[in-house]
């Protein structure tokens, strides 16, 4: 019985640490992916390495900092070896999990230690209380439980961090976290040997412990706050840069489309002269020149029967998207009734349509050739508001979640819908999205000014 008591600080937190490993496994599975066999191997190897290092530390009095460093190395190595996805993303996942373990675990440990010491000193009237094996084991076990809660919260909140970023960005985010872990471990080692607060016996052992735990708790709390600001701040900065870059690229494309549309209008205006020229080639039987002439006209004009809204830039955009839909065998239906004197800037309107239609066509392209592919567009005025609705077919197995959809190009992941949201917010509008039964629908409602209700029927 005495031997079991001596190992209470290892045996008591062991189940809680296994629970933490399960939560870490679920976190990695969600953002990295893994096969069942590797998940079980991760749990087994991680737990055994933790148990082995704790026992070795007990038998041979290995320095705390050395044990923690080896534990971190084993943990990150297992994630890099056993989970899928890019190695840089796996490095970030391991860094975030280790940061949660280090900061939350140490903060809870310091707080609980202060509470136990205060209770034993104040209530039990022990002048210089010390934490026994059982108390340390219970404190560590409860700390692991709080770490599990932190990992669960991270799995719900860090979706945008793991989607749509380049490998370099993951490294930039992971390196400062690893440095922070090293600093906290070093501080923890210092606290364990009395470096942080020492009164040289003037204040007594109780106050030395209380001040050391308090100082360490404050340090880890501030580090948690700084880590949160850093991770979410970096994510926000990246998204803003990507949105700005894509927005300006789209404006350049829309200006080019508008110019092409104007050229086609000039071509139609000069149709009489073209007919005269073609008649001359026909009479002279110069068939090759006649064919070349017709091809030039076809390349520089829009096909008849296109979608017409009265807005040249929007018309040009719809024409390009309709041609793309035809190439991909996507059924295209467009009924756009644009308000006269619409308060929405034409480029903002193109940002809305361009991003929505790009997503719709990409969703259709991911379907098999024998599946139904369609894009339906409607725009009209409803109770002094401009209503835009777009429906498209999608893979019934795909799920829309938190603004993210599946895309091969991870750098563009979710940025289009963020730009749509920014434009709608600019005009005090609202966005509603539904995705079920293989149909994706986005509805946008934007209030109009009083002059925007004289409707002009387009198509």
Domain boundaries along the sequence of the chain:
2-246, 306-452
Query: Element (H or E) spanning 328, and its range?
Result: none
Give per-residue pLDDT as tens, 420-431. Answer: 888 888 888 999
Residues with Cβ within 8 Å of residue 322, at least 6 apart in sequence: 306, 307, 332, 334
For the cut 50, the answer to whether the pLDDT of residue 453 exceeds it is no
Which secondary structure element, helix H or strand E, spans residue 390, and what is its range? strand 385-393
Length of the chain: 459
Per-residue pLDDT, 341 = 64
Residues 82-110 have pLDDT tens digits of: 998 888 899 999 999 999 999 999 999 98
CA distances from 141 to 1, 59, 80, 137 (A): 21, 21, 27, 6
pLDDT of 59 over the 60 cut: yes
For the record, the structure tokens of 96 come out as 């975030």
* Residue-level pLDDT at 302: 46
pLDDT at position 248? 64
CB 378 within 8 A of CB 459: no
**pLDDT over 70 (residue 454):** no
pTM for the model stands at 0.64
Query: Quick one: pLDDT at residue 12?
Result: 82
pLDDT tens digits for 355-411? 888 889 988 988 887 778 999 999 888 888 889 999 999 888 776 655 544 444 444
Q: How many CA atoms lie within 13 A of 292 on its CB side?
A: 5
Q: Which of 12, 39, 44 is nearest to 28 (CA)?
A: 39
Percent of the chain with pLDDT over 90: 25
> What is the rounded average pLDDT for all residues in the chain?
79
Average pLDDT of the residues in 313-331: 84
What's residue 6's pLDDT?
57
Q: Kindly state the percentage of the chain with pLDDT values over 70.
A: 78
Residues 123-162 pLDDT 10s: 888 888 888 878 888 998 999 999 999 999 999 888 888 8
Please check whether residue 157 is in contact with residue 31, taking contact to mean a CB–CB distance below 8 angstroms: no
Extract the tokens encoding 357.
């239609």
**Res 452: pLDDT:** 42
pLDDT at residue 111, rounded to an integer: 92
Spatial distance between the Cα atoms of 20 and 72, rounded to a whole number of angstroms? 14
CATH of domain 306-452: 3.30.565.10
Stretch 21-37: mean pLDDT: 90
**Position with higher pLDDT, 129 vs 204:** 129
pLDDT tens across 168-195, in order?
889 999 999 999 999 888 887 776 655 5
Cα–chain-centroid distance for residue 443? 23
SS3 394: coil
């Amino acid at each position: 019985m005495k031997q079991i008591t001596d190992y209470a600080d290892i045996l008591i937190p062991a189940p809680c640490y296994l629970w933490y490993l399960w939560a870490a496994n679920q976190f990695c599975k969600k953002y990295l992916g893994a096969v069942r066999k590797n998940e079980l191997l991760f749990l087994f190897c991680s737990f055994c390495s933790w148990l082995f290092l704790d026992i070795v530390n007990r038998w041979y009095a290995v320095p705390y900092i050395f044990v923690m460093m080896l534990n971190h190395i084993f943990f990150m190595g297992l994630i890099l070896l056993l989970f899928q996805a890019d190695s840089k993303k796996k490095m970030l996942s391991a860094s975030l999990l280790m940061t949660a373990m280090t900061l939350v675990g140490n903060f809870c440990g310091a707080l609980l230690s202060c509470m136990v010491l205060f209770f034993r000193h104040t209530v039990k009237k022990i002048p210089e209380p010390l934490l026994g094996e059982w108390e340390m084991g219970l404190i560590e076990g409860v700390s692991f439980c709080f770490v599990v809660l932190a990992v669960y919260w991270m799995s719900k909140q860090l979706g945008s961090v793991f989607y749509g970023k380049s490998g370099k960005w993951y490294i930039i985010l992971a390196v400062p976290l690893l440095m922070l872990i090293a600093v906290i471990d070093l501080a923890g080692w210092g606290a364990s040997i009395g470096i942080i607060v020492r009164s040289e016996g003037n204040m007594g052992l109780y106050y030395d412990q209380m001040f050391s735990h308090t100082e360490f708790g404050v340090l880890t709390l501030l580090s948690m706050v700084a880590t949160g600001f850093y991770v979410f701040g970096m994510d926000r900065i990246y998204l803003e840069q990507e949105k700005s870059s894509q927005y300006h690229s789209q404006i350049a494309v829309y200006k080019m489309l508008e110019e092409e549309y104007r050229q086609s209008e000039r071509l139609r205006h000069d149709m009489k002269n073209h007919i005269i020229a073609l008649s001359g080639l026909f009479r002279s039987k110069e068939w090759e020149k006649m064919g070349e002439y017709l091809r030039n006209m076809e390349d520089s004009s829009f096909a008849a029967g296109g979608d017409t809204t009265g807005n040249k830039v929007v018309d040009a955009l719809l024409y390009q998207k309709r041609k793309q839909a035809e190439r991909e065998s996507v059924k295209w239906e467009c009924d756009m009734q644009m308000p006269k004197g619409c308060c929405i800037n034409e480029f903002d309107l193109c940002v809305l349509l361009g991003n929505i239609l790009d997503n719709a066509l990409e969703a259709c392209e991911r379907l098999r050739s024998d599946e139904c592919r369609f894009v339906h567009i409607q725009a009209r005025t409803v109770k002094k508001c401009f209503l835009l609705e777009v429906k498209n077919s999608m893979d019934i197995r795909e799920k829309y979640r938190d603004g993210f959809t599946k895309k091969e190009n991870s750098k563009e992941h979710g940025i289009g819908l963020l730009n749509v949201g920014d434009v709608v917010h600019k005009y005090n509008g609202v966005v509603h999205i539904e995705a079920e039964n293989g149909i994706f629908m986005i509805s946008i409602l934007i209030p109009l000014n009083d002059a925007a209700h004289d409707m002009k029927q387009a198509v």
